[in-house]
């Protein structure tokens, strides 16, 4: 079964299925006739809102879902959720009830049910709900922006594709353009050669699919916009995850046709470690995290071979009762834990060991679960230093809406250094280069440019266009964009604070470096096409070729390429 056959990816997937001898028949339900004549094709035309409980055409072996829309196309968030979540899930249930064992989803980079970005959250919720159905084989293809000619006009995507062409070298790998033809090829292969368990195929693996012969590492590194050393590290990571990636440095790399990840095969000691750890979480934490631990254990069991699955379920390792559990209300523990994860400021009353009470506003970055009581590690605005707080002495916890602007990972590393704590095995390790450690500032790192805006939704839409990617976080008053190399752009809408009303020369600028003068001109043309106000046409100055634009609030935006002879220093 193919869902979304009238779209860009689905339209390229359909002929592949019809031409593939491994596929005996294709069922492509649509809301209007496809107009395609083929002996292998069945095209039920029906209303997706009222699917039948049983249908003969739904007796299939596998489902490929390339169904998707945009909020602008759908007309509202509710309609978008219905198209991108409810319909794919309804067809999954219908097909599974009649014997389908394989489901392949064209999802999206950044899919996460906890995301503050509505689009990414809906995609993540669909992935989560499909997992819960327990298909024998579930493949999640997560491309970045999809490249190709659509029948319908998606202005946002057309804009992003234009800008990404110029910004490609500086964008994160997850957001690079993936040709629709490569995505269609991956969907078909996952459906016709299914592997047991859950498999995720991200943007980088889709790039490797384009090449049938070994490709030099430097070619791949250039295509991804990363260093050769980073490529070698990513190659080893893919191999550790089970990808059949052949080749070596100096020869070239090739992804074998069977590039989906295999089911888990864990030795007994690792099974014991998983069981004990997850049972500890289920017994010693608040209900939400405990339920997540139980779900994770069930999901791991699902992808283990039968013998290993029995060993996991029959494990004799158990966790005893905790003295700390009765001391901290579950709602308080959950609120603090979620604030750590979302990097939001906390306000609470605190009573120390001597009975002294105080009001604190802190930046929470770590939560330790001890036998006696959970402890919060945070940067305290009042003390201007790291502090530790027992959760049983915290009262009236309130999660503030705004996020703290120093990345949590930076706070954690500095706290570890201050406390003499060695990084654990999950630390990024020697490949991570923390530029903030080179600076003399005791606490803050100038890694975020904060700009005041009149309306955060309008400004977030503007910067999504010129940067070619959505914000990583967005609320009613704040949006945050990652710019690469640890830098970020924050947009803050605050009552009583007005942004600049004009972008006169001499004001501060947000500058973006591109590869060469040609890229500067491309960016200039793309911005003009978007209606961006151009303050200075492209010109060559002492530091390079450049032009200047302005955002809706009057902030100056400069694009430039370095002049020859300038040396970039770390």
Locate all alpha helices (DSSP H) within 365-502, ordered by sequence. Answer: 408-419, 456-467
Please report the pLDDT score of residue 266 as a whole number: 65
The dihedral over CA atoms of 485, 400, 501, 466, expressed in degrees to the nearest 10, equals: 40
Query: Mean pLDDT for the chain?
Result: 76
Rounded Cα–Cα distance for residues 231 and 227 (Å) = 6
pLDDT digits (tens, 9 = 90+) for 496-555: 666 765 555 546 677 777 778 888 888 887 787 677 889 889 998 766 888 988 888 788
Q: Are 71 and 118 in contact, with CB atoms under 8 Å apart?
A: yes
Q: What is the percent of the chain with per-residue pLDDT over 90, rounded to a whole number?
A: 22
Q: Are 334 and 288 in contact, with CB atoms under 8 Å apart?
A: yes
Q: How far is CA 204 from CA 115, 162, 235, in A?
A: 22, 21, 10
Please report the pLDDT score of residue 270 as a whole number: 78
Q: At what angle do helices 287-303 and 306-313 cross, to 10 degrees?
A: 150
**Structure pTM?**
0.40
Please report the pLDDT score of residue 249 as a whole number: 60
Q: Are 523 and 166 in contact, with CB atoms under 8 Å apart?
A: yes
Structure tokens at 160: 């992003």
| Cα angle 139, 141, 146; round to 5 | 160
Rounded Cα–Cα distance for residues 410 and 428 (Å) = 12
Residue 126: pLDDT over 90? yes
Q: Which residue has the higher pLDDT, 359 or 569?
A: 359
Q: How far is CA 424 from CA 178, 380, 416, 421, 427, in A?
A: 35, 24, 10, 9, 6
In terms of phi and psi (left: phi > 0; alpha: psi -120 to 50; beta: otherwise), the region of 329 is beta
pLDDT digits (tens, 9 = 90+) for 231-288: 677 667 656 545 556 665 666 766 555 434 344 556 778 778 888 888 888 888 888 8
Please report the pLDDT score of residue 165 as a whole number: 42
Please report the pLDDT score of residue 520 as a whole number: 87
Q: What is the percent of the chain with per-residue pLDDT over 70, rounded to a whole number?
A: 71
Please report the pLDDT score of residue 531 as a whole number: 75
Q: Is 285 helix (H, G, I), strand (E, B) or coil?
A: coil
Best CA proximity match to 26, nearest among 54, 35, 16: 16
Q: How far from the centroid of its chain's Cα atoms is residue 136's Cα?
A: 25
Q: Are 48 and 90 in contact, with CB atoms under 8 Å apart?
A: yes
Rounded Cα–Cα distance for residues 317 and 304 (Å) = 19
Please report the pLDDT score of residue 183 as a whole number: 84
Radius of gyration (C-alpha) of the chain in whole angstroms: 26
Where does the pLDDT of residue 29 fall: very low under 50, low under 70, confident under 90, or very high at 90 and above? very high
Residue whose structure tokens are 């990636």: 245
């Amino acid at each position: 079964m193919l869902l979304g056959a009238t779209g860009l990816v689905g339209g390229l997937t359909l002929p592949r299925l019809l031409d593939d001898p491994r596929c005996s028949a294709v069922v492509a339900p649509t809301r209007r006739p496809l107009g395609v004549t083929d002996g292998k094709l069945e095209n039920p035309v029906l209303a997706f809102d009222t699917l039948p409980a049983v249908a003969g055409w739904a007796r299939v072996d596998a489902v490929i879902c390339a169904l998707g829309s945009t909020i602008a196309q759908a007309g509202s968030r509710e309609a978008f959720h219905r198209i991108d979540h409810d319909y794919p899930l309804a067809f999954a249930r219908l097909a599974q009830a009649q014997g389908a064992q394989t489901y392949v989803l064209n999802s999206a980079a950044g899919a996460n049910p906890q995301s503050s970005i509505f689009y990414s959250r809906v995609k993540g919720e669909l992935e989560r709900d499909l997992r819960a159905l327990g298909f024998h084989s579930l493949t999640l293809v997560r491309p970045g922006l999809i490249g190709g000619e659509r029948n319908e006009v998606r202005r946002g995507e057309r804009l992003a594709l234009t800008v990404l062409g110029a910004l490609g070298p500086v964008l994160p790998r997850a957001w690079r353009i993936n040709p629709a033809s490569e995505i269609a090829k991956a969907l078909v292969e996952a459906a016709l050669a299914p592997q047991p368990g859950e498999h995720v195929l991200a943007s980088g693996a889709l790039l490797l699919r384009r090449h049938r012969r070994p490709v030099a590492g430097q070619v791949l590194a250039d295509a991804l916009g990363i260093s050769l050393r980073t490529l070698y590290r990513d190659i080893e990571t893919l191999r550790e995850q089970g990808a059949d990636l052949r080749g070596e440095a100096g020869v070239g790399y090739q992804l074998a046709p069977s590039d989906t990840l295999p089911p888990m095969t864990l030795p007994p000691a690792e099974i014991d470690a998983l069981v004990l750890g997850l049972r500890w979480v289920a017994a010693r934490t608040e209900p939400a995290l405990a339920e997540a631990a139980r779900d994770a254990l069930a999901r791991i069991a699902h992808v283990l071979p039968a013998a290993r699955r029995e060993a996991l379920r029959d494990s004799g390792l158990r966790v005893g009762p905790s003295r700390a559990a009765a001391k901290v209300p579950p709602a308080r523990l959950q609120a603090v834990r979620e604030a750590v994860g979302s990097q939001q400021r906390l306000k609470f009353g605190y009573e120390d060991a001597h009975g002294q009470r105080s009001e604190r506003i802190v930046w929470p970055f770590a939560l330790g679960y001890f036998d006696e009581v959970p402890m919060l590690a945070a940067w305290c605005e009042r003390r201007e230093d790291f502090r530790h707080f027992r959760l049983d002495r915290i009262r009236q916890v309130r999660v503030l809406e705004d996020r703290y602007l120093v990345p949590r990972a930076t706070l954690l590393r500095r706290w570890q250094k201050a406390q003499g704590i060695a990084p654990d095995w999950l630390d990024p390790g020697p490949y991570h280069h923390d530029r903030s450690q080179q600076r003399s500032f005791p606490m803050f790192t100038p890694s975020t440019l904060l700009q005041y805006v009149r309306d955060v939704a309008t400004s977030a839409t503007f910067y999504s266009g010129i940067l070619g990617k959505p914000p990583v976080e967005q609320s009613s008053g704040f949006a945050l964009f990652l710019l690469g190399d640890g830098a970020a752009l924050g947009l803050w809408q605050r009552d009583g604070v007005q942004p600049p009303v004009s972008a006169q020369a001499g004001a501060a600028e947000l500058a973006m470096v591109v590869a060469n003068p040609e890229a500067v001109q491309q960016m200039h043309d793309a911005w003009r096409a978007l209606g961006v106000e151009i303050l200075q046409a492209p010109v060559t100055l002492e530091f390079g070729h450049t032009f200047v634009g302005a955002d809706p609030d009057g902030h100056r935006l400069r694009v430039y390429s370095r002049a020859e002879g300038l040396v970039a220093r770390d």
